[in-house]
Amino acid sequence: MPSQHISPIKMLLISTQQHLDSYQFFLAITSLCSCTIMTTLEESSMTLDLHPVKDKPMSISHSPYVRCFWTGSLYLTNGVVMPIHCTHISTQMIEVEAPDGLQGSKLVKLELKAIHEGKTATIKALCDPQLDVFNEHNKHYIKFTYHTISNKDVSFIKEFVDAHS
C-alpha cells in the first residue's frame, strides 16, 4: 500500500478540528506559512483573514527568540493606547499579549520597560504587525517585526537574548 503524504497545512487543519488551543495554533501557523492572520469580530463571530507577507521574518531557529516578561504600552494609529506585556523577544521580532486587537493598525508604536541584570531601559520601536490571534483567555497574542528601532535598543535586546538563550 503506498504511503499517503499529508501536508503540514492539512495536518494543522485536522489539529484545529481536534480542539487545538489558539496559542498552539498561533505557533503552528507562523511556522508553516508566509502569511499574516488577523482576527476580526463581525456579527459575533470570529474570522481569520489571511494576508500574504512580502518577506517572511527570520525563522526563530536563525535568531534567538526567548521568553520575556517586560511590560509596556502599545500605541495604535487610531489613538488607542493599551497595556501590554512581552511574551517572547528577539533582535528581529517581538510577541506581546494585549487586551485588544490591532483595530486596523498597519504600523504601531511599542514602548517596553525593560530590565536586565540591574540595568533598565525604555525600548521604543515602530513595529509592523505580522499576526494577531485572539486566544481562549480573551487576550490577543500579537507578533511584530521591528520597522524602526534604535541601535542602542537592539543592543539591549541582544544582551538580554544572549543571556537567556
| Interval 79-90: pLDDT, tens | 999 999 999 999
Residue 55 — very low, low, confident or very high, per pLDDT cuts 50/70/90? very low
Q: How many CB atoms lie within 10 A of CB 6?
A: 10
Dist. CA 41–CA 99, nearest whole Å: 14
Residue 71, in any domain of the structure: yes
Average pLDDT of the segment spanning 122-131: 97
Q: How many helices (H) and strands (E) does the chain have?
A: 3, 9
Residue 149 is assigned to a structural domain of this protein: yes
> Which pLDDT score, from 0 to 100, does residue 100 have?
95
In a domain, 103, yes or no: yes
Share of the chain above pLDDT 90, in %: 58
Q: What is the domain-level CATH number for residue 83?
A: 2.40.10.220
Euclidean distance between CA atoms 92 and 90, whole angstroms: 5
pLDDT higher than 70, residue 76: yes
Q: Containing domain of residue 44, as a range?
A: 8-164
In a domain, 160, yes or no: yes
What predicted TM-score, i.e. pTM, was given to this entire model? 0.63
In terms of Cα–Cα distance, which of 78, 97, 75, 76 is closest to 86?
97
Kindly state whether residue 2 falls inside one of the protein's structural domains. no
Maximum CA pair distance of the chain?
A: 62
The number of domains in the chain is 1
* Whole-number pLDDT of residue 42: 38
Residue 123 inside a domain? The answer is yes
Q: Quote the cell numbers at residue 11.
A: 495536518
Q: Is residue 1 part of a domain?
A: no
Q: For residue 87, give the amino acid letter.
A: T
* 26 pLDDT above the threshold of 80: no
Inside any domain, residue 3: no
What secondary structure does DSSP assign to 71-101, as a single string? EEEEE-TTS-EEEEEEEEE-SSEEEEEESS-
